[in-house]
Structure 1
Amino acid sequence: MFADQLIPGRGDPIYQAAVGISIKSGTITYVGKQADIDDELAAAPRTHVACLMPGLWDCHIHYCGVGKVDYPEIILQHPATAGAAIARGFYDTLMSGVTSVKELSGYGLEAYAAVKAGYIMGPTVYGAGAALGMTGGGCNAVTLPLDTVWSRQGTDNAGQRLWSGQSIFALADGVEECRKAVRQQIRRGATVIKVLATGSVMSVNEDPSFRSYSDEELRVIVDEAAMQGRSVAAHAHGKQGIIAAVKAGVRTIEHGSYIDEEVAQLMVKHGVTLVATAYITHAGLKKLDRMPPETAAKLKHIAGIAHKAYCTAVNVGVKIALGTDICSSDPRDLLSPGHSCEEVYLATKAGLTPLQAIEAATINAAETLGAFTPKKGLVKLGWDADLIAFDADPLENMKLFVNRDNIRYVWKGGKLVKSPRKIFWPPGST
């Protein structure tokens, strides 16, 4: 394909660029100037676009299969209902230009099997399985009996290990339970481990500024994950929880609402990436009237400090990757898949340049997987041909990322899955 402008993901744009792709291998076979292509590539079918770049990542998303994001509803939802809803979410994710996701608790790992089988369309999913949380912490549905919560995660309250994969939450207390919980998620297929190192906004009876888990529990989670090459993503709002997670060796801090200069400098020292999830507060503030009063109050408070924390991290030089914390499966909801691309624009409001924001949404996001980092996120020879294209220059107008309709083309593994002239649903349609 020919592009007036190619944004490679990391580095300066290339103008009057050509990119060759192999549909058979799904990889990029040529990157360079249009004037330098050989006769074989010159004779190949061609698409001409204004601006070409790597497919986006959302490295903090949830496919829960429920419309109302409520912990008891998530736990009690029937798997068939959840799966049907997630299929729509996968499609909307892809149509927003997001070709890869890191799911930090949800049923994406299980539902992705249908994408690989060719039944439905969707992004490549790298997932955590269930998020690890302490009893009384952010993984609790406190209005349900504890036995119900335990049983739905594949564990009873006596510690017996049943089938994993029934819940997006895993309660684990003490060093040995934390160790087993990591192993359970790896058995489920997790390529990353998520731990709640502080309280959360959505859960009842919690303050996001308070830390969860002891230093010993956090260390065993990180160490156990590292033995199997997995990095750890730490949900952490409060300062002390962030510091504890960074010192324990996590790879990313998710949210980071109370980051100050001291914390940001510590993150730089330890090479920890921030995933600020700006979209969740941006969109959540538009629907406060549909939230429980205690949740709405916490969200308003977090929104007031989180943007300042994000700007501080950018100014100090913390590495940034982009994720939204999208969690609803109702396509009419602002918190549903299909809105991930807006996170790129919001990153520029925190001080990233347009090129830095795109890098954060592509290769930086991929690199949060550590040893599992795939060849996705760069327009580079031999890398996966996950690409998107615009009819205009996003570097001149980053608001193009606010509306997914501005992303005119999407290629997934070299195959065109979105185009102004064709609808590719269901898979295999022509």
Structure 2
Amino acid sequence: MTEMKQYLITNCTLIDGCSNEARTNQNILIEDKKIAKISSQPISGVDAEVIDGQGKFVLPGLIDCHVHYGGTESPYCRDWVMESDIQQAMVSTAQCMKSLKHGFTTVRDISANGIYLRNMIKKGLLNGPRIVACGRGLSRTGGHGDSYEVPIEIVKRSHPWAVIADGQEEVRKAVRMLLREGSDCIKVWATGGGLWAWERETDQHYTYEELCVMVEEANYYGLPVASHCESAEGALASAKAGVTSIEHGEELSQECLEIMKEKDITLVPTIGLFFEWFSEYDPPIREGQQSFQGNTLGEKELNRIRTNFKAVYDMGIRIAVGADSFCDTLTPYGAYTHKEIHALVNAGMTPMEAIIAATKNGSILLGVNDITGTLEEGKFADLIMLEKDPLADIRNISRENIQLIMKEGTCI
């Protein structure tokens, strides 16, 4: 890692996250971690290291709003609990550094390790992205955060990203404990996620009243609530309760969409995960599921996901990027989130809209838009420089195409 107080990036094409147009021949002066000046005119009279941006494209540092630095090496939920806690803590440091090396300067993490990673990165003892740390998320017994093959006592002690809580009073106490531990955001699995037969994606896992308690307790501290929703009923209950974001949200009713718009609830769609899943697997038909066109059930599911996403997009609901990376074997950190940005364009966004989703929109959701998410004078110099134009081809957002990564004015 190389650090200097001043840099001058010259003659670059700037995609600042604010405007819908790129600006050519821009010069960016970076002083004391922040962007001191952006100008189309040459900047002279400064003692700065010059970085030639001719023919290059400068973007804000990317933001992943849904990642798990649990330190797990296995894709299997039994192993998540049985792996050594110390090993997972060590692996998690590599996971967050890998995100940073793919250009993600800010993330929201759901894991037991995230609060400690956040604190050590702030102190400069570890290198990694800025972390908005949820700590562990709330799961009911038998829910998405319960490794069903393992005794419940071990799950409660060692699950890398979930805490078990049932009923309004347990939920209230769990949220208060998470706040005591220093969580920046409360995460809840409001529905199942399909890890095993009895926690199907279609099932709502927390009642409206339980969700209201979570939101109430979080609001006492002014903290947001992120709700995992893979069924229409769970999403609607979460939206009515007033959560800040809906994660996944592949089934959203018109009523839910209207509430999301009214309450300014953000969608973090993790759409790349679904594209990959339904492209590779042939899932069973769900009871009462709407029929969509397609030659295979997988194609029908893909069309359902696209139709749902288009409804969100057409409503003008804020969309932010999150990949749901949880282990390198299935969802490699950084690279998988690049694929998520690409998938947004595949789903109907323009490349500029996808870039804004991965920068500005993420910063608004995470409450850090006053310091990052866009390239503006006075904000932190969180940025990446690409060799090729991402507006010509969104797939140019890739690790091999990144020439420079800077976080708070430090070159990574």
How would you bin the TM-score normalised by the shorter chain? Answer: 0.7 to 0.9
Displacement of 1:203 in angstroms is: 4.4
Equivalent in 1, 7, 25 of residue 15 of structure 2: 7
Aligned twin of 1:160: none
TM-score (norm 1): 0.84
Aligned twin of 2:252: 259
Aligned twin of 2:51: 47
Aligned twin of 2:99: 93
Displacement of 1:196 in angstroms is: 1.0
State yes or no: 1:385 paired with 2:394.
Answer: no
The letter for the 2-side match of 1:26 is: K
Aligned twin of 2:65: 59
Q: Is the 8 A contact 1:280 1:326 kept in 2?
A: no
Aligned twin of 1:171: 164
Where 1:69 maps in the other structure, the secondary structure is coil
Aligned twin of 1:142: 148
Where 1:34 maps in the other structure, the secondary structure is coil
Shift in CA distance, 169/235, structure 1 to aligned 2, threshold 3 Å: same
Displacement of 1:387 in angstroms is: 0.5
Summarize the alignment of residues 153-164 of structure 1 with structure 2, pairs less than 5 Å apart: none
Where 1:47 maps in the other structure, the secondary structure is strand
Higher alpha-carbon deviation: 114-123 or 390-399 = 114-123
Shift in CA distance, 270/113, structure 1 to aligned 2, threshold 3 Å: closer
Structure 1 residue runs without a partner (length 5+): 154-166, 418-430
Aligned twin of 1:162: none
The letter for the 2-side match of 1:40 is: G
RMSD: 2.4
Higher alpha-carbon deviation: 182-191 or 142-151 = 142-151
Summarize the alignment of residues 4-403 of structure 1 with structure 2, pairs less than 5 Å apart: 4-11=12-19, 12-22=21-31, 25-35=32-42, 37=43, 39-41=44-46, 43-49=47-53, 50-152=56-158, 167-284=160-277, 305-330=304-329, 333-370=330-367, 375-401=371-397, 403=398
The letter for the 1-side match of 2:396 is: L
Displacement of 1:29 in angstroms is: 0.8
Summarize the alignment of residues 394-413 of structure 1 with structure 2, pairs less than 5 Å apart: 394-401=390-397, 403-413=398-408
| Partner Cα distance (1:102, 1:302) in 2 | 28
| Partner Cα distance (1:412, 1:215) in 2 | 40
Q: Is the 8 A contact 2:118 2:133 kept in 1?
A: no
Displacement of 1:244 in angstroms is: 0.6
Displacement of 1:130 in angstroms is: 0.6
| Partner Cα distance (2:196, 2:363) in 1 | 29
Displacement of 1:321 in angstroms is: 0.5
Where 1:388 maps in the other structure, the secondary structure is strand
Displacement of 1:132 in angstroms is: 0.4
Q: Is the 8 A contact 1:96 1:339 kept in 2?
A: no
Shift in CA distance, 375/120, structure 1 to aligned 2, threshold 3 Å: same
Displacement of 1:113 in angstroms is: 3.8
Where 2:336 maps in the other structure, the secondary structure is coil
For these two proteins, the number of residue pairs brought into alignment is 388
Shift in CA distance, 348/259, structure 1 to aligned 2, threshold 3 Å: same
TM-score (norm 2): 0.87
Displacement of 1:374 in angstroms is: 5.0
Shift in CA distance, 223/197, structure 1 to aligned 2, threshold 3 Å: same
Shift in CA distance, 383/404, structure 1 to aligned 2, threshold 3 Å: same
Where 1:257 maps in the other structure, the secondary structure is coil
Q: Is the 8 A contact 1:280 1:335 kept in 2?
A: no
| Partner Cα distance (2:390, 2:261) in 1 | 29
1:211-248 deviation digits (Å, cap 9, x = unpaired)? 12111110110111111111000000100111110010
The letter for the 1-side match of 2:261 is: V
| Partner Cα distance (1:340, 1:243) in 2 | 27
| Partner Cα distance (1:62, 1:304) in 2 | 28
Shift in CA distance, 271/344, structure 1 to aligned 2, threshold 3 Å: same
The letter for the 1-side match of 2:315 is: V
Displacement of 1:337 in angstroms is: 4.0
The letter for the 2-side match of 1:388 is: I
Displacement of 1:169 in angstroms is: 0.7
Displacement of 1:128 in angstroms is: 0.7
Q: Is the 8 A contact 1:246 1:272 kept in 2?
A: yes
Displacement of 1:205 in angstroms is: 1.7
Shift in CA distance, 335/45, structure 1 to aligned 2, threshold 3 Å: closer
Q: Is the 8 A contact 2:360 2:369 kept in 1?
A: no
Q: Is the 8 A contact 2:69 2:113 kept in 1?
A: yes
1:357-405 deviation digits (Å, cap 9, x = unpaired)? 11110111111124x655110101111111001112211111112x311
| Partner Cα distance (2:370, 2:65) in 1 | 13
Shift in CA distance, 409/45, structure 1 to aligned 2, threshold 3 Å: same
Structure 2 residue runs without a partner (length 5+): 1-8, 285-296
The letter for the 1-side match of 2:364 is: E
The letter for the 1-side match of 2:324 is: D
Identical columns (%)? 30
Shift in CA distance, 328/286, structure 1 to aligned 2, threshold 3 Å: farther
The letter for the 1-side match of 2:138 is: L
Shift in CA distance, 409/287, structure 1 to aligned 2, threshold 3 Å: farther
Displacement of 1:260 in angstroms is: 4.2
| Partner Cα distance (1:413, 1:380) in 2 | 13
Where 1:240 maps in the other structure, the secondary structure is helix
